[in-house]
Structure 1
Amino acid sequence: MYHLKLHAEKVAWAPLDFPGVSLRVLFTDPASGTMSVLTRMAPGASIPAHLHTKADETVYVLEGDFVEEGTSHGPGSFFAGKAGVPHGPHGTVGGCVVLTTFSAELDFVLV
């Protein structure tokens, strides 16, 4: 049995420090720091290259165009990265929504 059931639309979008980028935090485990979030990027928005020191990350494109290292990826595209490995910048031309999971406590280190 699932210990959490929710509809994403019941969770408010929270703006990030990058213009046009916001998150819906769907799940956080206080013990491990594991997180599942929706990231929404408005047309033309970007997230600079960065790394996470503790968390492995997966990204699944739900809608729109997600630009990673200059290549556009559409719905159904999947990415996985290990902790400590730089990735990005991430961007979008027309806007996108991606589902992102983090395996541990999240930190964000610009590279």
Structure 2
Amino acid sequence: MTFHLSTSYSDYKPGFEEKAWHKPAFELSVGAKYSFHDKILVDFDLITLGKRYAKPYIDTLSAIELNPIIDFNMGIEYKYSKLLSIYLDFYNLGSSKYYYWNQYPNHRVNFLLGFSYKI
């Protein structure tokens, strides 16, 4: 079993703009990955982004504040052989409604199914 933790804090000072558009001051990622007999891999991630600011469409308006994001993700992978594996990833398991970019809502719970083949 492996764990990871990463965090960053940034104090952006844009030169000519009011804010550093869509850049969070705080980011946090925590996760774990577990391997069952080197055949099945399961991983979990919790990602947090601090508030961000979007540029308004009309320059005379003030910056638009975007709420912080908390996102929980999970993935599972089955290694059929050293060359072939299939995976299923789930994103936003908390079904949070948020805007990563202004006016573009995220998908609630969504998934990605795929396979990989190494040449």
TM over 0.5: same fold? no
Which of 1 and 2 has higher RCO (CA within 8 Å, sep 6+)? Answer: 1
TM-score (norm 1): 0.31
Higher strand share: 2
Specify the structure having the higher radius of gyration (Cα).
Answer: 2
TM-score (norm 2): 0.29
